[in-house]
Chain A
Amino acid sequence: MRIACFLSTAIVLTFFLAMGIDLIVQGMSGFHLGYFFGPVLDSGRAGGIGPVIQSTFLIVFLAIMFATPMSLGGAILSVEILAKYPRLSHFVRRTFDVMVSVPSIAVGLVGWSLFCQGLNLGFSILAGSMTLALMLAPIMTAAFIGGLDAVSKSIRRESLALGVSRWHTLWLQVIPAAWPALLAGVMLALGRATAETAALILTSGISIHPPEGILDPGATLAVHMYYLARNVPGGEPMAYSAALALLLINIVLYFLLSRLGRIVST
């Protein structure tokens, strides 16, 4: 059995290394000095990904800003407000948990109909970030609930005993005590946001031009990679470069998250 486990690990690690090497070998050729900031040329077959980085930043940033209030609200609802009603508290948690697995293409479909069509936003960064927020909220909520739960009861009790209202206890004591876990939730959402494609392709669309407003369409890096791989004739080499860029971003996010994780556990 030990052998089986070893083999499994070997397979997984080998795959990981092979993937990394393949990305580097095939993707490096697209990297040049201006890759991350230069304009997209020749429908994406040449040039850089500057406009894509801009769009990615906007979409992800707005999505997180939209999702955080909902997630924090949900977490507070479950942990603080409904603390005396375990069944309801559980129900809130469960609703967000189930949401994690909703297929992103379905969310994209609904986002397209409700935001792009219904609110008449068309393919836009705004519609994309609103849709993305719906996908991020459950992940953040789960992390926030974990963080708030982990704050020791004594902090709450002491604060209340000193005459501080529950509201101020929450915002001045509990939340600051939970900040590493809260930040970790945001970073998890960040990771998910950079990886999302299906929901965004239907709502923020595809564009190779830098955005000039949030009503403009824009592609995130993952969407751009998909577009190059799938719809642009001869776009595969640059798709590899985009994939390599995605891998690098991923690695950075992972290490940031693990350092946060170490802070959380101390």
Chain B
Amino acid sequence: MDVPLPDSRNRTREPVWGWIITAVAGISGMLAVPIIVLYLFLSGAGLFMENQAWTFFSLEWRPGDEVFGILPLVAGTLTTAFLALLLAVPLGLGTVLHLHFFSGPRIQRMGEAALGILGGTPSVVFGLFGTVWLVPRLGPSLASGMLVLTAMILPTFALLALAALRQIPKDLLTAGTGLGVSREQVVWHLAVKTIWPLLAAAATLALARGLGEALAVEMVCGNVSGIPSSLLQPVRTLTTTLVQEFEYARGVHNQALHMVALTVVLLAASASTFAFRLHARKADL
């Protein structure tokens, strides 16, 4: 049989325009990040040419007196997010370890469903619970804000951690058990330590989410700017400031808010980039 080899005469046409359009579509999607960062920077940079510029690094945020100190807001953001992470990671890790190693298929499915549904719940629903259950007991405070944030980032972390656990080759674990190592030791020393870069990446991504949350936290945190001295004191974050002030701010205040937004974007983007670097370090798999 004489099968003709494909060459330029009988290959189907390669529409160049098709590839170009596709590439353009893809690139336009990629432009979103630079455009956002650029826009925030250009809108807010004017602040530094005004007299109030020096207030940017002061310790108070009082737009009424034209004092735009961003540090207390950054402190608020970092505190709520890290505290939430401190709670979410152990709880989340314990949960997925239990689901993956210590429980039967039924509980596994239930647990995964619970995590998946929680993860898809809008943040404002957690904010609603916060206002009804947390605020009457803990007051509008750092504690309330932290707990609401924990509820939000725990599913994010847990689901990523679960995915990471699933990547561990089964042979590794059976080998461990075969050698007489207890199940618990297998879980901890083999499984967790093997994938810890993935877990760290998952935690960092959850942190990034926590840094960027606005509405749910605003509902419960008290919104008083300043560094809280206890968990029961109110706090204000970069994002809650945007929620409260963006709609009416003009002039210098408006510029300052754009810088606040830029700060939060850069914080979240840094965390996120760091997380993906960590993710790439999963060498031993």
Contact = CB atoms under 8 A, between A and B. Distances in A.
Interface in A1-31: 1-2, 4-9, 11-13, 15-16, 19, 22-23
Nearest to A228: B128
A114 B104 CA distance: 52
B30 to A, nearest CB: 5
A222 B124 contact: yes
A104 B209 CA distance: 10
A215 interface: no
B219 A229 contact: yes
Contacts of B18: 167
Interface stretch (A44-52, A105-113, A150-158, A176-184): A105-113
B114 A16 contact: yes
Contact of B23 (A23, A81, A105, A113): A81
B26 A70 contact: yes
Nearest to A94: B276
B285 interface: no
Given A197-B122, A230-B219, A5 B102 contact: yes
A239 B128 contact: yes
A72 B176 CA distance: 43
B230 to A, nearest CB: 24
B212 A195 contact: no
Contact of B116 (A98, A102, A254): A254
A19 B151 CA distance: 11
Given A110-B36, A195-B122, A246-B122, A101 B212 contact: yes
Contacts of A141: 29
Given A2-B102, A13-B110, A240-B128, A106 B36 contact: yes
B28 to A, nearest CB: 6
Interface residues of B, number: 90
B208 A101 contact: yes
A194 B208 CA distance: 20
A74 B25 contact: yes
Interface in A75-98: 75-78, 81, 92, 94-98
Interface residues of A, number: 86
B243 A98 contact: no
B122 to A, nearest CB: 4
A201 B215 contact: yes
Contacts of A33: none
A255 B110 CA distance: 12
Contact of A2 (B6, B33, B95, B184): B184
Interface of B: 6, 10-15, 18-19, 21-30, 32-33, 35-36, 39-40, 43, 90-95, 97-99, 101-103, 107, 110-111, 113-118, 120-125, 127-129, 131-133, 151, 154, 158, 183-184, 187-188, 205, 208-209, 211-215, 219, 239, 242-243, 246, 258, 261-262, 264-265, 268-269, 271-273, 276
20 contacts: A9-B99, A12-B154, A76-B22, A76-B26, A92-B30, A102-B269, A107-B36, A162-B6, A163-B10, A165-B14, A168-B12, A194-B120, A195-B122, A197-B122, A222-B125, A229-B219, A243-B128, A247-B125, A253-B120, A258-B113
